[in-house]
Amino acid sequence: QQQVKQSPQSLIVQKGGISIINCAYENTAFDYFPWYQQFPGKGPALLIAIRPDVSEKKEGRFTISFNKSAKQFSLHIMDSQPGDSATYFCHGGTSYGKLTFGQGTILTVHP
Amino acid sequence: GAVVSQHPSWVICKSGTSVKIECRSLDFQATTMFWYRQFPKQSLMLMATSNEGSKATYEQGVEKDKFLINHASLTLSTLTVTSAHPEDSSFYICSARVGVGTEAFFGQGTRLTVV
pLDDT (tens digit per residue) in B20-56: 999 999 988 887 899 999 998 888 899 999 888 888 9
Whether residues A44 and B101 touch (CB distance < 8 A) is answered with no
**A-B contacts (CB, under 8 Å):** 54
Chain A closest-CA separation from residue B17 CA (Å): 24
Chain B closest-CA separation from residue A62 CA (Å): 17
Report which DSSP code applies to B28: S
- Predicted confidence band at B1 (pLDDT cuts at 50, 70, 90)? low
pLDDT at residue number A81: 97
Written as one letter, the residue type at A11 is: L
pLDDT at residue number A95: 62
Written as one letter, the residue type at B52 is: E
Chain B closest-CA separation from residue A3 CA (Å): 12
Pairing of strands B19-25, A62-67: unpaired
Within 10 angstroms of residue B17's Cβ, the number of other Cβ atoms is: 11
pLDDT at residue number A1: 45
Whether residues A43 and B43 touch (CB distance < 8 A) is answered with no
CA distances in angstroms from A93 to A4, A29, B2, B30, listed in the order given: 9, 8, 19, 18
Q: Which residues of B touch A102 (CB under 8 A)?
A: 43
Within 10 angstroms of residue B33's Cβ, the number of other Cβ atoms is: 29
Contacts with A93 (C-beta within 8 Å, 6 or more apart), sequence order: A30, A32, A99, A100
Q: Which residues of A touch B91 (CB under 8 A)?
A: 41
With 90 as the cut, is the pLDDT of residue B79 above it?
yes
pLDDT at residue number B65: 95
pLDDT at residue number A9: 94
Average pLDDT, chain B: 91
CA distances in angstroms from B28 to A13, B3, B24, B52, B89, listed in the order given: 38, 8, 9, 14, 30
What are the mean pLDDT values of chain A's consecutive 10-residue runs (111 residues total)?
83 98 89 90 91 92 94 96 96 72 92 93
Higher pLDDT, B72 or A37: A37
Give the Cα separation of A80 and A99 in Å (integer). 27
Within 10 angstroms of residue B19's Cβ, the number of other Cβ atoms is: 20
* Neighbour-count burial of A95, counting CB atoms closer than 10 A to its CB (0-12 exposed, 13-18 middle, 19+ buried): middle
Q: What is the DSSP string of B61-86?
A: T--TTTEEEEEEETTEEEEEE-S--G
